[in-house]
Amino acid sequence: MKIGEISRRSSVPVETIRYYEKIGLLPKPDRDASGYRAYRNMHLDRLLFIKRCRNLDMAQDEIRELIRLSENPEADCHEVDALLARHLDHVRDRLKELANLENTLQQLQKACSDAGTVQECGILGGLSSELEDLHDKPSDHENHVPGTHRPGKS
């Protein structure tokens, strides 16, 4: 199948498929006589696996590790379990961060319960003081896979 067909069947954009090939998550397919990529069912299966992992917010390094582990089907699955446990810890940490974010946003929203001018807006004033507070605090956020889930990273 050509890249357009595997894209349709997997609901993964063509650009993303090419990117996964480039970074080694998806094996490069052979080319047919006219030079087009010729994907097989194994490519579709791998692409759907990657998609499911991404839907679980797994980082590329985690997916790469799961793929590596899956290539040895007779091995003990404790490494897979350990990887999932680390990811679950990361998800729980993110949930705590999101709960804190929700509380902060609720407090900011309460700061502007009265109609007034933008100059008097408690939300904008609160955001300005929040930014000052952030500069004074070191970040204690640790990622579950080094180099992933950082602002500005894909």
* Per-residue pLDDT tens over the stretch 56-115: 999 999 999 999 999 998 988 999 999 999 999 999 999 999 999 999 888 877 777 666
**Which pLDDT belongs to residue 151?**
43
User: Is residue 15 included in any domain, yes or no?
Assistant: yes
Contact 50, 10 (CB under 8 A): no
User: Is residue 23 included in any domain, yes or no?
Assistant: yes
User: Is residue 118 included in any domain, yes or no?
Assistant: no
d(CA 8, CA 48): 12
Residue whose token pair is 């998806």:
26
Q: Which token pair is 74? A: 């007779």
**Which pLDDT belongs to residue 132?**
59
Whether residue 148 is predicted with pLDDT greater than 80 in this model: the reply is no
Chain segment 102-121, per-residue pLDDT in tens: 998 888 777 776 667 777 67
Q: Which token pair is 96? A: 């705590």
CATH number of residue 22's parent domain: 1.10.1660.10
Query: 29 or 122: whose pLDDT is higher?
Result: 29
Whether residue 2 is predicted with pLDDT greater than 70 in this model: the reply is yes
Residue numbers of the domain that contains 14: 3-55
Q: How many domains does the chain have?
A: 1
Residues of the chain above pLDDT 90, percent: 62
Q: What is the mean pLDDT of residues 36-42?
A: 94
Q: What are the angstrom distances between the C-alpha of 112 and each of 1, 70, 133? A: 57, 53, 20
Residue whose token pair is 């950082």:
150
d(CA 25, CA 60): 8
